[in-house]
Amino acid sequence: MEPIVTRFPPSPTGALHIGGARTALFNWLYARKKKGKFILRIEDTDTVRSTKESVGAILESLTWLGIDWDEGPYFQTERATIYTEYIERLVESGSAYYCSCTPEEVNAMREAAKANGLKPMYNGRCRKKNLGPGDNTVVRLKTPQTGVTIVQDIVKGDTAFQNSEMDDFIIQRSDGSAMYNLAVVIDDLTMGINTIIRGDDHLINTPKQMLIYQALGADMPSFGHVPMVLGADKSRLSKRHGAMSVGEYKHLGFLPDAMINYLVRLGWSHGDQEFFERNDLIEKFDLEHLGRSASMFDNDKLLALNAKHIQSKRPEILADHFLFHLKNLGIDAQNDAFTQGVIETLQSRSKTLVEMAKGAAFYYQEDVQFDEKAAHKFLNPDCLDMLQTIADDIEGLEAYTQATLEHVFKKIMDQTHLKFGKIAQPIRVAITGTTVSPGIFEMLLALGQEKTVQRIKTAIRLIQDTA
């Protein structure tokens, strides 16, 4: 059995969005599952709308998602001579022909057919003229006029198209450039693509592409057309549904593994399992469980899944992504024991890495930024002695552990008859500047003994200066 070869062929007319990323993922997962090959091809023949910036954004998004490619990226604009060679071969074999009909003449044919209750299409006027190339000629494929073309679809099952309803469609424009359907077939054929998974908006192109394969006497690839991703209102997914480009999700603090997990569940299932790690997906992914019905994009589900992935990651792995968001806040940090300790205090309470980075900012500040209301309420002369005692006791600890910190707090509680919260909240404000933080002991341990004492003493000075 020949190795599985799949591909992802984005058009660089914008950023990579949810639907395209899902298509790339399905093809990548299947290639990795079968130990085959995944090829990246840039379909940039729309020279007016295609940009280098879009190419860069697509490559960056795929790299962030961890979708790597074995060959490419190939660019269609660099393959024109290959397309011309195959078009000439089709003409020489009698499977295609030159047509000199003007656009106005073709429109008239279509209107005439429409007036007679027929499907508007080209009537084959130049089919038997045996014309040669000229300044205003196109090349059309000579399609069968009877019978059916059956798309044997991995996802949808068989779909039949009447050949009589397909006209002799253009495969080369009058300027010599290849049309989309021709270029795609030649690319897939010459690159050895044997499995094509794509959105079902491409299904209408598939019978035309199959006829080109047949005209070339080439083996047909396997096709699988997956339903589109829809918004909550069951219309095609767009920004108004809250969906954004893949690059935007990175900047909003989503993990690539969470995006991969969510994307694959938009149209594929493995029993009732919702949470998948990357290697788990490669092991379990198959084409048999691709769904036939459209999937609904749900940003809340994505957010919940992202929180689970944040919780599941080891801090040293999470740190590489976390540091990007710290840097966006103007904080330079390293993937070291301190940062990993910071992450541990915030993993259980963070839905995004942006949220985590904002919650972690106080750890890295030289000077605590006190919230005025919090400082006024909790840093007052009534707690001065308590803060001084805690600072002294913590500074005197030989072992800085949760057990020794708990002992310090218990000692103060016994001496002052204050409840834990009455002690912890002034300490929290002293350390963070606010009333919200991770658990008090895990926070103090992550901050470290020296910085903890330093910040409590800073709070003491604040009280003394404002008394």
- Phi/psi of residue 92, nearest 5 degrees: -65, -35
C-alpha dist (Å) from residue 172 to 145, 179, 185, 186, 238: 21, 5, 13, 13, 33
Cβ atoms of residues 58 and 15 within 8 Å: yes
Whole-number Å distance between alpha carbons of 121 and 107 = 8
Whole-number Å distance between alpha carbons of 151 and 156 = 9
C-alpha dist (Å) from residue 245 to 216, 250, 259, 454: 38, 9, 12, 44
Cis peptide upstream of residue 73 (ω within 30 degrees of 0): yes
Cβ atoms of residues 141 and 147 within 8 Å: no
pTM to 2 decimals?
Answer: 0.93
Whole-number Å distance between alpha carbons of 47 and 377 = 63
Contacts of 442 (CB under 8 A, 6+ apart): 344, 345, 402
* b/e per residue 373-407 (b: at least 16 CB within 10 A): ebbeebbeeebbebbeebbebbeeeeeeeeeebee
Whole-number Å distance between alpha carbons of 249 and 115 = 51
The crossing angle, in degrees rounded to 10, of helices 402-416 and 384-395 is: 150
At 467 the pLDDT is 67
* Pair type for strands 229-230 and 96-99: unpaired
Strands (E), 113-221: 138-141, 148-153, 157-162, 170-172, 195-199
Name the DSSP letter for residue 119.
P
At residue 259, what is the residue type?
M
Read off the tokens for 107: 């429109």
Whole-number Å distance between alpha carbons of 41 and 82 = 15
Whole-number Å distance between alpha carbons of 454 and 240 = 49
Contacts of 61 (CB under 8 A, 6+ apart): 15, 16, 21, 245, 246, 247, 250
At 238 the pLDDT is 76
Return contacts of 163-167, CB within 8 angstroms, 24+ apart.
165/119, 165/121, 166/121, 166/207, 166/208, 166/211, 167/121, 167/122, 167/123, 167/124, 167/143
Nearest 5°: the CA angle 277, 278, 284 is 90
Read off the tokens for 428: 């929290």
Contacts of 70 (CB under 8 A, 6+ apart): 31, 37, 38, 39
Name the DSSP letter for residue 202.
G
Whole-number Å distance between alpha carbons of 452 and 467 = 23
Q: Of 254, 230, 375, 386, whose CA–CA distance to 307 is shortest? A: 254
- Phi/psi of residue 419, nearest 5 degrees: -75, 160
pLDDT tens per residue, the chain (467 residues)?
799 999 999 999 999 999 999 999 999 999 999 999 999 999 998 888 999 999 999 999 999 999 999 999 999 999 999 999 999 999 999 999 999 999 999 999 999 999 999 899 999 999 999 999 999 999 999 999 999 999 999 999 999 999 999 999 999 999 999 999 999 999 999 999 999 999 999 999 999 999 999 999 999 999 999 999 988 887 888 777 777 899 999 999 999 999 999 999 999 999 999 999 999 999 999 999 999 999 999 999 999 999 999 999 999 999 999 999 999 999 999 999 999 999 999 999 999 999 999 999 999 999 999 999 999 999 999 999 999 999 999 999 999 999 999 999 999 999 999 999 999 999 999 999 999 999 999 999 999 999 999 999 999 999 998 86
Whole-number Å distance between alpha carbons of 424 and 243 = 41
Q: Which residues are catalytic?
A: 239
Whole-number Å distance between alpha carbons of 81 and 298 = 45
Domains, the chain: 5-75+228-306 (3.40.50.620), 79-226 (3.40.50.620), 314-466 (1.10.10.350)
Return contacts of 329-336, CB within 8 angstroms, 24+ apart.
329/357, 329/358, 329/361, 331/357, 331/361, 331/364, 333/364
Q: How many CB atoms lie within 10 A of CB 353?
A: 27
Cβ atoms of residues 420 and 386 within 8 Å: no
